[in-house]
Chains A and B, each alone.
Chain A
């Protein structure tokens, strides 16, 4: 297992380096003078000269890249062109919102997706399976931002049951915080739930027809015990896999969901930055997303080897 983890760690580090190069090159490809982009409000020649020296823009490219990596590693993402505040402090207020929203969405999707998937597999060929399959297909096909729009129009505005927009920090008022996040989390979670449901159903069907489940049944275990103790354990791997693979989709979804529900998170910050041509913010967002994706997927692989002992032996995901 140590060998497998070392390989994965090395691969993750390499991918991280490559994605940093991509962002570095992308920033150089931005229209206009990067010093101008970094300068913010103060665009006097002296200020630009100071920025060129501070960011090493007068140095050769490899030196610039080394300095760039050093700055990023220290969390120095520059200053927002629009607000003049350091990008890092914008991130510290925005990220918790997105992380909380995503965790709630993953929890919801897991409960819904695993539940419906198990039901569909156990009730094969019955109406319950058709219903679960149909809902999963719709969940895959519906534009979630549209679902959010309808939820605001017909649930929040019409009934007043949920707030249509806004955010309250968890530490200020946990109940109000959840009240604001329930609807966005449901909207964000539906797509993920559909994918988890389909994978769970397929994995359950495989394990229900496998030898070890047949043995368990033959030795007289009650059907419920067979499902929960033997077959369902596998669906844990399914959930971990799907969440790892769908992380990109989840981040994209969070951006849109925040935009619709007016949540002051990472996504809203991103979209605002694009329209204000706030390049330091865009750069930080792109780089951090890539880094988060790589690190989380490495953690998912670690988790795998904990859940599934086969990986510890063979060094390959089953």
Chain B
């Protein structure tokens, strides 16, 4: 059972490593604060259908453009008299959903390609051209093309953003695979007669999870911002479904009557993205084996 003894050493090492990473995260106040903000946001997003004071589609034409602080409508109402607080809660839920869908899309396609590019020399050139090809279509242009072919929707927005994020995933997974491939425990497994797929699945992928995790935490806020842009332009979530981006588009339309309506949805988008970015930074620092260099 020599095959097992080699990876065991690596696993034992990763248990203490995980403890060290968690300890570093707990000691970083920014990491703790951003984690709490994210946990709260996700909890509110999951529970929003029950937490929201009004149904998102409930209109009240007698009370349009009620300012924030109006009794019964804490954050006011929009152009159709719908409750802004309820729509922000469900809009944030949609933002998070698109963020997760996009990143999931990019990981499902990007991780195997990154592993293959880093592990098999012959595949590297082909996958590089594929990456170049994807990079040539910025996410907004990709979304424009998809909207032309398939119509605008939440799903197409998530796919366009996800495809645009594939090159980033391939890059980090490829370089980590190259690094891991040159390490002794992988060479030992190969000497023991382990097949390529076994080595990739059992030895390389588990050790590449930290870079994949960091990549995902920086990709989610980018996807949330991307969704907001697409929905603002009308290429993403379609009205009357609530979305922070479409709320801002409506606010722009009625800026003269209700300038405050442009403030809150943007603050929520920024807060979500900022929390993910701060946590992503902290996670990268905590995972950095060079420790407290910076």
Contact = CB atoms under 8 A, between A and B. Distances in A.
B259 interface: yes
B132 interface: yes
B204 interface: no
A29 B149 contact: yes
B78 to A, nearest CB: 15
Interface in A188-226: 202, 205
A252 B273 contact: no
A227 to B, nearest CB: 18
B164 interface: yes
B109 interface: no
B278 interface: yes
A256 B140 contact: yes
A270 interface: yes
Contacts of B269: 143, 146
Q: How many B residues are at the interface, by size bracket?
A: 35 or more
A6 to B, nearest CB: 15
A84 to B, nearest CB: 20
A202 B271 CA distance: 25
B135 interface: yes
A315 B232 CA distance: 44
B132 A289 contact: no
Contacts of B265: 146
Contacts of A282: 144-145, 148
Contact of B136 (A15, A142, A157): A15
Contacts of B225: 141, 143
Interface in B261-294: 262-263, 265-266, 269-270, 273-274, 276-278, 281, 294
28 contacts: A15-B136, A19-B133, A22-B137, A137-B274, A137-B281, A140-B221, A141-B221, A141-B270, A141-B277, A143-B270, A146-B265, A147-B266, A149-B251, A149-B252, A153-B255, A153-B259, A202-B294, A248-B164, A255-B140, A256-B229, A271-B234, A274-B147, A274-B235, A275-B234, A282-B144, A285-B141, A289-B137, A297-B135
